[in-house]
Amino acid sequence: MKILVVEDEQRVAQFIQKGLKEEGHAVDCAYDGEEGGFLAEVNEYDLIILDLMLPKKNGLTVCSEIRERGVSTPVLMLTARDAVQDKVRGLDAGADDYLTKPFVFDELLARVRALLRRGSESKAPILKIIDLELDPMSRRVTRGGKPIRLTTKEYALLEYMMRNPDRVLSRTRIGEHVWDMNFDPESNVIDVYVSHLRNKVDKGFDVSLIHTLRGQGYMLTEDAPPA
């Protein structure tokens, strides 16, 4: 999943980013409210972790503004304020959950998983293309009923491709969503991971699902891709 962390304390932001990346998520960071609001509007995220006290524009304002502009991405609000009234204001501004600082990282992860689960349920309980199935709830992947073991990043890449079937996905688009917005599109990392996926998903099956479109990117489809 792709997550935006809006937190002005860079040490805290980088700590959260590192932990979420270890869980297989792509994570962008913004260090003030204006930048965070801008990124939330122009990029597609699965979750936004938003600090309340931010320079330039506070978290309540950011949350209210992105909701007014039609951004429905789940928002987890972080703050040192633990008064009930502060929590109510955050939820009324459009936040989906609230976590006070200091927090235990395991609790943050649990709340992240819960919010992402809600989003996954609303999109599709189980992703399926022919006999390839991916369950976002259990993170179980099978093809022809046989389980496929994937690394964390392989799973993230496959999930993104399965949520965008029959679409040409450029390396830049994949890099920004599965890695982060600072991903170098000239790197061959994506090609390597796609090759690994192809060996695990397509090898031994009559129908190949992962296709390379020279000069364009990749496509997951049961049909022959356009020339």
Residues 177 and 192: their CA atoms lie apart, in Å, by 17
Whether 144 has a pLDDT exceeding 80, the answer reads: yes
How far apart, in whole angstroms, are the C-alpha atoms of residue 46 and residue 136?
13
Quick one: 143 and 96 in the same domain?
A: no
pLDDT of residue 22: 84
Final residue of a structural domain among 122, 153, 169: 122
Round to whole Å and give the CA distance between 206 and 36: 46
- Residue 113's pLDDT is 87
Between 189 and 137, residue with greater pLDDT: 189
Residue 72 predicted with pLDDT over 60? yes
Q: Cβ neighbours of residue 152 under 8 Å, at least 6 residues apart?
A: 23, 24
Whether 225 has a pLDDT exceeding 80, the answer reads no
- The 10 Å CB-count burial string (b at 16+, else e) for 80-119 is eeeeeebbebbeebbbbbbbeeeeeeeebeebbeebbeeb
* Residues of the domain holding 195: 127-220
Structure tokens at 91: 């939820």
Instruction: Give the HSE-up count for residue 217: Cα atoms under 13 Å, Cβ half-sphere.
Output: 15
Q: What is the pLDDT of residue 188?
A: 84
Return the pLDDT at 62: 94
Residue 63 and residue 33 in one domain: yes
* pLDDT above 60 for 196: yes
Q: How does the average pLDDT of the chain come out, rounded?
A: 87
Higher pLDDT, 186 or 222: 222
Over residues 26-58, the pLDDT tens digits come to 899 999 999 999 999 988 898 999 999 999 999
Is the separation of the CB atoms in 34 and 61 below 8 Å? no
State the CATH number of the domain containing residue 132.
1.10.10.10
Q: Can you give the pLDDT at residue 90? A: 80
Whether the per-residue pLDDT at 216 is higher than 90: the answer is no
Residue 6 burial class via C-beta count within 10 angstroms: exposed 0-12, middle 13-18, buried 19 and up: buried
pLDDT value of position 55: 95
Cβ–Cβ < 8 Å for 41, 69: yes
Residues 12 and 29 in one domain: yes
Among 100, 122, 144, which residue terminates a domain?
122
Position 123 scores a pLDDT of: 54
- As a whole number of angstroms, the distance between CA 80 and CA 138 comes to 33
Residue 79 confidence (pLDDT): 84
> Checking DSSP bridges between strand 210-213 and strand 217-220, what pairing results, if any?
antiparallel
**pTM, full prediction:** 0.65
SS3 147: strand
Q: What pLDDT score was predicted for residue 177?
A: 81
Mind listing the pLDDT tens digit for each residue in 82-126?
667 777 888 888 899 989 888 889 999 999 988 887 765 555 578
pLDDT score at 124: 54
Final residue in a domain of this structure, among 122, 139, 167: 122
- Are residue 88 and residue 189 in the same domain, yes or no? no
Other beta carbons within 10 angstroms of residue 174's beta carbon come to: 23
- Residue 225 placed within a domain: no
Whether residues 164 and 70 fall in one domain: no
Cα(43)–Cα(27) distance, integer angstroms = 12
pLDDT at 120: 58
Q: Are residues 109 and 197 in the same domain?
A: no
Over residues 139-143, mean pLDDT:
90
Read off the pLDDT band of 135 (50, 70, 90): confident
